[in-house]
């Protein structure tokens, strides 16, 4: 708990007071009846493989944990993990071919009871994956007796278990998913969360099936079916198991955009939007947490970041979230949950008359020319290099279409910003054009978007070669 020194100016005099941010802000959640001191939960994965790990996590500050999936006896392989490393980023994407818990069910149940004894106010959710209705009924009774606060149905594993008709094999079949959810809801006396697979073209289909089956809540996403790379000696996919490999479940920072998109799709559906959502997928920083909450999640689950950095990252998640909430004037996460949803729309409803253009801050520019290269080779030739010996490129405003590329490649924060160029009085969308039958239908139509755009003559691309041949450097 951090004490923050605040300054107040009152009646012309400066005084200080010690304020505790946590006294003002309540991070506790009630997720479909599952209570926890904060929204930071561990996803069902290797970090929740044992009571030892979960107690260690709770002691570090995590509010809940979804136990590594329990079910039938399994045999795991060696090796199990692979990753996608991008430039200086280790584990930009993470892949695993590990199955559900291979530890004896009795050991897991005993440890689950022990965890609840020491941490009665923290959320312990049992992730389950079995086959028949009788097996579901039996294991639900066992985890209830062990003190679990809730159940998560694992309908997402894209390897191993799906080959046995479970995991993503269920998540990709909405009718089967609905049937199993109905079985579980009939048998369970504690809240039920249905975990969805992203390995489907339309996430609303299984989401709707779960809601129709009367699930209490939904969590998403599980891992994405993938191959992260090929070993250039054995020619086998990573991770290599005795010279062979297979597809794994992909997670980590690389899948966050997919997770946010699918969460949005569910939260904007009229029959699903009132179902509590637990967001999963690439959460590593407090900003990630805020983004998931803004799209409607009221708990978040973390796996890869913990496997990479350890349980201690929860301190950064908590302090960052508290800072954000204090700055915005929020006291609970419910104050801003879903606040971004009204601003997510279809492309056809975007304002075609809105115009932004790039602006370079000369004081911050380091003259690396990355913006020029990106724009000239990959975009709209709207940046000119200096000819007067200076190091600062310039924006050719008449050519700039506001694509953002230059600002995205610039290595200096806020050196290139996108500035609003229109006065905001005009508003027109593709939908409005369609409704009023004003859509351009020929390339020569003055209403067509690309007519009149500046493009250099093709021969300009070879000008440097002609200079080289002439001996000009």
Q: Which positions are annotated as active-site residues?
A: 157
Instruction: Give the single-character DSSP code of 78.
Output: S
Residues 6+ apart with CB under 8 A from 130: 71, 72, 136, 139, 166
Helix 204-212 and helix 174-187, axial crossing angle in degrees, nearest 10: 30
Do 256 and 281 touch, CB atoms closer than 8 A? yes
Residue 230 gets which letter from DSSP?
B
Closest CA to 250 of 235, 239, 266, 265: 239
- Residue 289: which of 3, 2, 95, 27 has the closest Cα? 27
DSSP single-letter state for residue 250:
E
User: Which region, left, alpha or beta, applies to residue 282 given φ > 0 means left and ψ of -120 to 50 means alpha?
Assistant: left
Whole-Å CA distances, 374 to 117, 389, 402, 462? 58, 21, 13, 18
Tokens at residue 9, please? 């100016």
Candidates 185, 147, 12; CA nearest to 67 is 147
Taking a C-beta distance cutoff of 8 angstroms, is the pair 31, 192 a contact? Answer: no
CA distances from 318 to 1, 25, 118, 287, 375 (A): 10, 11, 22, 11, 39
d(CA 310, CA 84): 19
Interstrand relation of 217-220 and 192-195 (parallel, antiparallel or unpaired): parallel
Q: What is the DSSP letter of 233?
A: T
């Amino acid at each position: 708990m951090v004490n923050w020194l605040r300054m107040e100016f009152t009646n012309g005099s400066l005084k200080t007071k010690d304020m505790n941010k946590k006294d003002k802000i309540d991070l506790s959640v009630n997720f479909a009846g599952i209570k926890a001191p904060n929204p930071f939960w561990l996803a069902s994965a290797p970090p929740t493989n044992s009571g030892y790990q979960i107690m260690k996590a709770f002691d570090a500050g995590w509010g809940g944990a979804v136990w590594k999936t329990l079910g039938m006896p399994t045999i795991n392989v060696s090796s199990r993990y692979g990753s996608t490393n991008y430039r200086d980023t280790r584990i930009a994407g993470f892949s695993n071919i590990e199955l559900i818990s291979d530890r004896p069910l009795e050991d897991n149940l005993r440890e689950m009871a022990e965890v609840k004894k020491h941490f009665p106010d923290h959320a312990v959710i049992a992730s389950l994956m079995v086959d028949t209705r009788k097996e579901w009924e039996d294991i639900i009774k066992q985890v209830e007796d062990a003190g679990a606060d809730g159940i998560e149905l694992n309908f997402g594993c894209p390897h191993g278990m799906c080959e046995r008709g479970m995991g993503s094999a269920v998540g990709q079949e909405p009718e089967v998913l609905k049937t199993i959810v109905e079985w579980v809801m009939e048998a369970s006396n504690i809240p039920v969360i249905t975990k969805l697979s992203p390995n489907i073209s339309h996430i609303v289909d299984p989401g709707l099936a779960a809601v129709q089956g009367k699930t209490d809540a939904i969590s998403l996403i599980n891992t994405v079916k993938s191959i992260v790379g090929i070993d250039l000696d054995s020619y086998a996919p990573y991770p290599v198991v005795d010279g062979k490999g297979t597809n794994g479940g992909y997670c980590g920072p690389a899948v966050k955009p997919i997770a946010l998109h699918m969460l949005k799709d569910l939260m904007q559906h009229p029959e699903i939007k009132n179902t509590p959502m637990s967001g999963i997928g690439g959460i590593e920083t407090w900003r990630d947490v805020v983004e998931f909450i803004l799209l409607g999640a009221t708990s978040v689950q973390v796996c890869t970041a913990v496997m990479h950095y350890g349980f201690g990252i929860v301190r950064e998640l908590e302090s960052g979230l508290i800072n954000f909430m204090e700055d915005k004037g929020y006291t609970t996460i419910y104050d801003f949950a879903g606040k971004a949803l009204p601003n997510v729309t279809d492309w056809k409803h975007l304002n075609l008359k809105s115009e932004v253009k790039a602006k370079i801050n000369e004081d911050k520019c380091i003259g690396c020319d990355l913006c020029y290269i990106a724009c000239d080779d990959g975009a709209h030739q709207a940046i000119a290099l200096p000819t007067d010996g200076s190091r600062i490129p310039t924006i050719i405003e008449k050519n700039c279409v506001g694509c953002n590329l230059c600002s995205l490649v610039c290595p200096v924060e806020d050196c290139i910003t996108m500035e609003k160029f229109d006065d905001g009085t005009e508003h027109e969308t593709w939908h409005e054009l369609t409704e009023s039958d004003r859509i351009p239908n020929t390339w020569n139509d003055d209403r067509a978007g690309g007519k009149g755009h500046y493009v250099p003559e093709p021969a300009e691309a070879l000008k440097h070669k002609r200079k080289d041949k002439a001996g000009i450097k």
